[in-house]
Structure 1
Amino acid sequence: MKKHSSYILVFIFIFSFSALAAKIKLPAVFSDNMVLQQKSSVPFWGTANPGKILKITTSWNNKTIQTTVEKDGSWKTEVTTPEYGGPFSIQITDGTKLELRNVMIGEVWLCSGQSNMEMPVDGWGRIMNYEKEIAEANYPDIRLLRVEKSVAFKPTNELVVRNKGWVTCSPKTIPEFSAVAYFFGRNLNQNLHIPIGLIDASWGGTIAEAWTSSGSLRTMPDFISPLVEIDRKSANFKNLTVEFKQDSIKWQALVKEKDRGMSNGKALWAANNTVETDWKPMNVPGFWEETVLPDFDGVVWLRKTIDIPANWGNKSLTLSLDKIDDTDIAYFNGVEIGQTTNYTASRTYSIPSNLVKPGKAVITVRIVDTGGGGGFYGESGLMKLSLSKEESIPLAGAWQYKVGMNLNEIPAAPQTWNDPNQPTVLYNAMISPLVPFTIKGAIWYQGESNADKAYQYRELFPLLIKDWRKQWKSDFPFYFVQLANYMPELPQPAEASWAELREAQFQTLLHLENTGMAVTIDIGEAKDIHPKNKQEVGRRLSLIALAKTYNKNIPFSGPVYDSYRIEKNSIRITFKQAETGLKTKNGEPVKGFAVAGSDHKFHWAEAVIDGNEIVVSCKEVENPVAVRYAWASNPVCNLINGAGLPASPFRTDDWVGITYLKK
């Protein structure tokens, strides 16, 4: 009997496995509630039982097409879609049956980028008026597909999505979806009255090269070596976690070894007796790249001497420093009181009573910045030393700083195997599996993480666009957001990596066909890299699509720099997209222009609107040769056209910027 039972179990297993293998499997991009691109030959593909005849029947025309499943179980065919409408159903059968329900025919847009595209309506984003927006998000003709975050060293066919596939837009489904994508799609739906499908494939803090295929990246010499490393990781996948831990320990030890403020693990520059004569002034909060340490990554020590009141002696205190980029260790009178590694976290450290003595005290903070902005960047009012809610000492303002080490002195920090900021890994996992699902176009909001290499972005960003078009075999529209204003305003004209990144985006607009750029230089926030007014970002992107893709006769762009000519001691600027006239917000004088002579030193300029042109001059520059507009991370600027759309930042010179040699 035992032997018979074994045969029966084996038979049941084989039968079950065969039945399972016979099931039709579709990629996750195909599901109930999806939107298919109208008036197109839409590819369908998947797996089924090898050799079977697979049939697809569409309810909009009740026609059936068929194909034969290949020996490896794969199949692919095309379905012809009508003009927009729905809901419809699609039946797929090879003996077993699969049905897709509540399918709409309309317009499909891929929405990608980093955190300002990912930023949800609610959750960590909480955009402006989010509660009202959520409550009113009843749009059954808008469908949402959220691609889950994942990485891969090689292109994969397996797409990982949230909610098991497409969902209908509602107050229940919209809170965690991309706000920019939603407002873009909502505006299209309201103007076109056509079903809209939105595919959100985004990941905060990521670099453009992560979203680009290996084949395209290999055409840029800058990425040959990193891609060799990706290939090595792919071949050595099982050992990567152990390897990373070992390399991280070694790297951290090397940083401490090279840090001139440390000796044998002790914080020399945190001691009370440290001489400050060779320390330099720095005002905080504010990223040091934008003030005293342009283009610097590494270790910086900051210290501030304060007076402890007599009644605070021998009492526990709270040190609040708000946000610091990236990691920090805080000391009070030379004693470590805490450390944080999360650059988005607000720092709050407790100081034990035994360390608190009346009189002079020294607060020292060792900050390690591995890329992007560095230093204190939170709210001034949240930087304080407190005894209680009523008694505190403000800490914003003047500090002293000293450089411990520059990261250029040592090899780059090791990356975890699943770090999204590696070349091609997001393309492989989050974009490649979508190909060749038919889309109308793409919208893109990214660039913050590439700002330190803005000159490189001049080549990389157009490469990404052409790469995606090559993969889809379609020159589809690609509309993107130019970086918003961010970081502290500066009193005088200065170089800025964010300005250079915006220029790279602007050049892409000028030199690559079927692109559009939504300018957001007027709706950012100085202290938040994630501005809350995502409604306007989505609206401006939709204006471009409505005008350029759907042929609506509407203004879609602010003034765009065209040319200049020197007229004695002034320069005259001409613009495109100025047919509706030039003006300023609130009718104020024009702000944001600077001019320079042959010495390359810029001064704020007086700018006057003359019809559809701007005439710029400056008393300090007798013979101007160059003009810049809104050339800063957070410029004060106000030039718009009659449609209320802002002018893009620009410059007339081609002088080498601060990111020129960054690779």
Structure 2
Amino acid sequence: MKMKIGILAVFIWVSLAISAKVTLPAIFTDHMVLQQQAVNKIWGKAESNRSIELLTSWDNKTYTVKSNTQGYFQFEITTPSAGGPYTLTVSDGEPLIINDILIGEVWFCSGQSNMEMPVKGYRGQPVVGSHPYIVSADEKRPLRLFTVKNAWSKEPKDDVEGHWSLSSSKEVADFSAAAYFFGNLLQEKLGVPVGLINCSWSASKIEAWMSRETLKNIPEVDLSVLKNTEFGYPNGTPTLLHNGMVKPLEGIAVKGILWYQGEANSNDPALYKKLFPALVSQWRSFFRSPDMPFYYVQIAPWQSGNKDELDWALFRECQLQLMSEVPNVGMAITTDAGSEKFIHPPHKIKVGERLAYWALAKTYGIEGITYSGPIYKSYKLDGNVAELTFDYGSDGLNPEKEQLEGFEIAGSNGVFIPAKAEIIEGSDRVKVWSESVDKPVEIRYCFRNYKMGNLTNNAGLPASPFRVIIK
């Protein structure tokens, strides 16, 4: 009997020791990157009402807090300028050390399958030109990767599954292509550590990434579905991905957000015009950065139900309009990067690098970088010839001295026919006309689900699809 009591006492003591040990969320592991020159929260769990210490190796400063009755504790630390590697030591008497920490630029990358699509591509759907990047990937490079495992929840969770990894060939191959090619160029140009957090889910709708608090102000979104206990489409259900994949990260600091999503919401651009600004506002509040840059990708040309229909064209128009309606956002244009047959276009290097152009020019203030393709600005009509002026074409438009492709024109009968279009030499203007149309009422450029054009600026960046109603 005494032996049984002794064994039980040892078991209880060991259990208490294990339960008292400090634990940290998955986002705080070896190889992590913390946003430089920012307030970062570090939190975890320990035994209740316990004194917890945090030692930061970059300044040898010790912080002390007390865990609450549930064992939760939280520190707020301010990070220095970019550098590393460093360590963090969290201790309740037994130290937990996080090694190989870098301080640099952290970007949160989210969306649906075109953000999720890995550098190695999907089966039968490659990422063009990606293999040399996989082969040359270097673990010693200060570019770190974190992928949040798909998860959904009706209620906010307190942790995610995932880990920080080095840029090995294997890890790069499996990481988000759009995010990686963004980070690859960013790190190369800035020369500081970069951390990328990929938090995406194929076929997800924007409302799945939004909180109940945000969505309750948008009556078109039906929140009554959250009374259900089973969900056949959790990644399309309001709040479920916010609760399962985003909310657990509350407290980390990031420099900005990349967003590649919209295909799953393309049937209702009017609602998206309400949801997108609300998501931007929500995440700026969530990451405690009111002016945080938010760069997104215009959905690429794809046939959808029929390549000549307009549902995706109307959604691209919505995305283009949002760029001028929401402050401190930018859009990577993909007119030349689509695929008629596949919803997952293969040109993710273009996508990632165009997102990086926005960040380098607008967030980091590097002069001399053209960061957008031509965007329609205004028109004037001279007889049956319309002269269109473009933003982001001050250094000239291309191809000069050639007929431009992708333009259509309609007269009073509303029938669209191919238009002739030429660049007015050495300018940011294009003239468009047709001998068959005396009084044009509308001009379109690549304004169909899938239609290719060739208008670019001197940087080779493509013009966004658009339509002009002539009054």
- Shorter-chain TM-score bucket reads over 0.9
Q: SS state of the match for residue 507, structure 1? A: helix
Counterpart-to-counterpart distance in 2, 1:651 and 1:9? 79
SS of 1:449's equivalent in the other structure is: helix
* Counterparts of 2:130 and 2:91, CA distance in 1: 43
Q: In 2, are the aligned partners of 1:489 and 1:636 still within 8 Å (CA)?
A: no
The answer to whether structure 1 residue 580 and structure 2 residue 395 are counterparts is yes
Gaps of 5+ in 2: none
Matches within 5 A, 1:73-152: 73-122=71-120, 124=122, 126-138=126-138, 140-152=141-153
Q: How does 1:364-375 map to 2 (within 5 A)?
A: none
1:495 to partner: Cα distance: 4.2
Partner of 1:337: none
- Distance, in Å, in 1 between the alignment partners of 2:121 and 2:434 is 48
Task: Check whether the contact 2:47–2:67 (CA below 8 A) recurs between aligned residues.
Answer: yes
Q: Secondary structure at the match of 2:181?
A: helix
Which one of 234, 245, 248 corresponds to residue 430 of structure 1? 245
Q: Secondary structure, in 3 states, of the residue corresponding to 1:486?
A: coil
Contact 2:422–2:430 (Cα < 8 Å) also in 1: yes
Tell me the equivalent position of 2:330. 516
Contact 1:489–1:526 at 8 Å: present in 2 too? no
Instruction: Report the RMSD for the aligned CA atoms in angstroms.
Output: 2.0
Q: Residues 440 and 470 of structure 2 are in contact (CA less than 8 Å); yes or no, is this contact kept in structure 1?
A: no
* 2:35 counterpart residue number: 37
2:265 to 450, 454, 458: 450
Contact 2:370 2:459 (C-alpha < 8 Å) held by counterparts: yes
**Distance in 1 between the 2:103 and 2:171 partners?**
20
Alignment of 1:627-638 (within 5 A): 627-638=443-454
**1:392 is matched with which residue?**
none
Residue 490 of structure 1: how far off its partner (Å) = 8.0
Q: Secondary structure at the match of 1:160?
A: coil
Moved more, 183-192 or 600-609: 600-609
* Alignment correspondent of 1:189: 187
Distance 1:609 1:490 in 2: 30
Query: How is 1:512-591 mapped onto 2 (pairs within 5 angstroms)?
Result: 512-553=326-367, 554-584=369-399, 588-591=402-405
Cα displacement (A) at 1:649:
0.8
Counterpart secondary structure, 1:13 = helix
Contact persistence 1:142–1:169 (CA under 8 A): yes
1:489 Cα offset (Å): 12
Q: Which residue of 1 aligns with 2:420?
A: 606
1:155 Cα deviation after fit: 1.8
2:224 paired residue number: 228
**Would the alpha carbon gap of residues 180 and 603 (structure 1) be closer, same or farther in structure 2, given more than 3 Å must change?**
same
State the partner residue of 2:157.
156
Give 1:192 shift.
0.6
Equivalence map 1:204-603=2 (5 Å): 204-223=202-221, 225=222, 227-230=223-226, 232-233=227-228, 237=229, 240=230, 415-416=231-232, 419-474=234-289, 475-487=291-303, 495-553=309-367, 554-584=369-399, 588-603=402-417
Distance 1:205 1:82, change over 3 A: same
Alpha-carbon offset, residue 14 of structure 1: 2.2
Aligned to 1:51: 49
Structure 1 position 654, deviation (Å): 10
Task: Specify the SS of the correspondent of 2:337.
Answer: coil
Relative to 1, partners in 2 of residues 1:561 and 1:123: Cα closer, same or farther, differing over 3 Å? Answer: closer
**1:514-553: CA deviations, max 9, x gaps?**
1111111102121222122211111111111100111111
Report if the CA contact (8 A) 1:461-1:505 is conserved.
no
Opposite residue 267 of structure 2, the aligned amino acid is: D
Query: How far off is 1:639 after superposition?
Result: 0.6
Give the % identical residues.
Answer: 40
- CA distance in structure 2 between the partners assigned to 1:215 and 1:641 by the alignment: 42
Distance in 2 separating the partners of 1:604 and 1:98: 67
Question: Distance in 1 between the 2:440 and 2:130 partners?
Answer: 47
Q: 1:126 to 1:607 in 2, by over 3 A?
A: closer
Report if aligned partners of 1:486, 1:524 keep a CA contact under 8 Å in 2: yes
Runs of at least 5 residues in structure 1 that lack an aligned partner in the other structure: 241-414, 656-663
Instruction: Give the TM-score normalised by the residue count of structure 2.
Output: 0.94
- Matched position secondary structure for 1:169: coil
Report deviation, 1:603.
2.5
Q: CA deviation at 1:445?
A: 0.9
Alignment-mate amino acid for residue 75 of structure 2: T
CA distance in structure 2 between the partners assigned to 1:515 and 1:422 by the alignment: 26
Aligned 1:637-656 pairs, distance under 5 A:
637-653=453-469
Offset, 1:222: 1.2
Q: 2:137–2:167: 8 Å Cα contact kept in structure 1?
A: yes
Shift of 1:598: 4.2
Once the two structures are superposed, residues 243-266 of structure 1 have per-residue CA deviations (whole angstroms, 9 ceiling, x without a partner) of xxxxxxxxxxxxxxxxxxxxxxxx
State the Cα deviation string for residues 216-241 of structure 1 (Å, max 9, x = none). 11211111x3x1121x12xxx3xx4x
Deviation sequence 1:150-199 (CA, Å, 0-9, x none) = 111122212122xxx10111113211111111111010011011100000
Name the counterpart of 1:9: 7
**How far does the alpha carbon of each residue in 1:74-132 deviate from its partner, in whole angstroms, 9 at most, with x for none?**
11121111110111111111212110000000000011111111111226253223432
* Deviation (angstroms), 1:71: 1.6
Q: Secondary structure at the match of 1:174?
A: helix
Residues in 1 aligned to 2:399 and 2:298: alpha-carbon distance in whole angstroms: 20
Decide whether the 8 Å contact of 1:489 with 1:634 is kept in 2: no
Contact 1:480 1:518 in 2 (8 A): yes
Per-residue CA deviations over 1:573-600 (Å, capped at 9, x if unaligned) read 1111111111139x64111122233444
| Shift, 1:210, TM fit | 1.1
- CA deviation profile, 1:468-489 (whole Å, cap 9, x unmatched): 1122221311101111122289
Equivalents in 2 of 1:72, 1:144: separation in Å?
31
Secondary structure of the residue aligned to 1:221 is coil
Can you list the C-alpha shifts for 1:271-305, whole angstroms capped at 9, x where unaligned? xxxxxxxxxxxxxxxxxxxxxxxxxxxxxxxxxxx
User: Residue 632 and residue 170 in structure 1: after superposition, are their counterparts in 2 closer, same or farther (change >3 A)?
Assistant: same
Q: 1:18 aligns with which of 16, 19, 27?
A: 16
C-alpha change, 1:101 and 1:590, in structure 2 (3 Å) is same
Q: Is the 8 A contact 1:594 1:604 kept in 2?
A: yes
Q: Whole-Å Cα distance in 1 between the matches of residues 422 and 130 of structure 2?
A: 39
Q: Distance in 2 between matches of 1:195 and 1:499?
A: 38
Q: CA deviation at 1:421?
A: 1.5
Structure 2: which amino acid aligns with 1:5?
A: M
Q: In the comparison of the two structures, how many residue pairs are matched? A: 464
Asked whether the 8 Å contact 1:36–1:103 carries over to 2, the reply is yes
Which amino acid counterpart does residue 466 of structure 1 have in structure 2?
A: S
Larger strand fraction of residues:
1
Q: Give the distance between the partners of 1:157 and 1:597, measured in 2 at CA.
A: 59
Task: Return the alpha-carbon distance in structure 2 between the equivalents of residues 188 and 451 of structure 1.
Answer: 30
1:563, CA displacement in angstroms?
1.6
* SS at structure 1 position matched to 2:23: coil
Between stretches 601-610 and 124-133, larger displacement belongs to: 124-133
8 Å Cα contact 2:442/2:470 also seen in 1? no
Q: What TM-score does the superposition give when structure 1 sets the normalisation length? A: 0.67
CA-CA distance at 1:618 after TM superposition: 2.1
User: What is the CA–CA distance in structure 1 between the aligned matches of 2:440 and 2:121, rounded to whole Å?
Assistant: 50
1:626 pairs with one of 432, 439, 442? 442
